[in-house]
Amino acid sequence: MSAPSAPPPGPLLDRYRAGDLRALARAVTLAEAGLPAARPLLRAARERGARAVVLGVTGSPGSGKSTLTDALIAFLRQRGQRVAVLAVDPSSPYSGGAILGDRIRMLRHHADEGVFVRSLASRGALGGLSERTLGVLALMEGAGFDWVILETVGVGQSEVDVAAACDHTLLVLTPAGGDGVQAFKAGIMEIADVIAVNKADLPGADRTIRELMAAQGLGAHDQHTWFAPIRRTVAAKGEGIGAIVAAVEAHRAHLGAEGLQRRREARAALEVRTLVQERLLRRARELGRDLYARVARGDLDADDAADTLLRGNL
């Protein structure tokens, strides 16, 4: 399938700046494809500054992340706030595209001009986020939304990039399957700013909350440590959603302007680093075939081959 053609940047840029959701959708398509036409749009997005609350929603598969995200949209819209959602989905091993899509989830919001939902393939990224995720997030922020929610694919221990990509991280767990203990063992709790024990009407919710509270006290902490508030939710019924939003807003107040700036700088570092990695890997694919053959034959050391690719002396 051919890449999307690049439209004249002027009209699209003007429509994006005016808040046209169709222009935003087109801009996201260009950014996801990595086309040069996306760059003026990305610059415009960043010139507007970061005003949105950027919330990452992560957790194990089956914990109800999508249902909880849908309930968050409904709650925030009742408050009159505009919401954009970027749902990072597993990639098809054949096409590389998202297996699940925004047309499947959150359909009840499709006619609401205050809601924008888009799916993005993870492309097999170990951190759960592809190299284009952060650019898409920036476009959504620049479009003037009050909240931007990044719902990640849910791949377990490797899914820690979300903490660097967002202002706040919501970890979604369930009472079943020992999710609390597993989260602590995998180190995922370290990235959580707020914890939702979803499906809290199931047996074992009290035990899970006790385990989580005990686990929080085991780590190094002092009087300035933020202990992630643990909130019960039943997302399918819309229960506990207000408490989640309040906890996120409390964490934002805890961070303050300086803390938010540090998190934005961490996001910028992640974005630049992932783009550098992408370009180096592309260069290796394009130019390294003969080098690989020489390494395989024993004619060249792998370290020397890597240095040759980085220097460009082929």
Among 148-162, 211-225, 231-245, the minimum mean pLDDT is found in: 148-162
Residue 223 is given by DSSP the state: T
Average of per-residue pLDDT values in the chain: 82
**Amino acid 130: pLDDT:** 65
**Where is pLDDT greater, at 213 or 230?**
230
Of the candidates 85, 237, 104, the residue with the CA atom closest to the CA atom of residue 170: 85
Contact 195, 57 (CB under 8 A): no
pLDDT tens column, 128-147: 566 788 899 999 999 999 99
Six token digits for residue 299: 């004619």
Q: Cα 235 from chain centroid? A: 20
211 has which bridge partners? none
Alpha carbons 40 and 197: distance in angstroms, whole number: 41
Beta strands 83-89 and 230-232: pairing type?
unpaired
Q: With 70 as the cut, is the pLDDT of residue 106 above it?
A: no
44's enclosing H/E stretch is: helix 38-47
For residue 96, pLDDT over 60 is answered with no
What are the beta bridge partners of residue 168?
55
Q: How many CA atoms lie within 13 A of 292 on its CB side?
A: 6
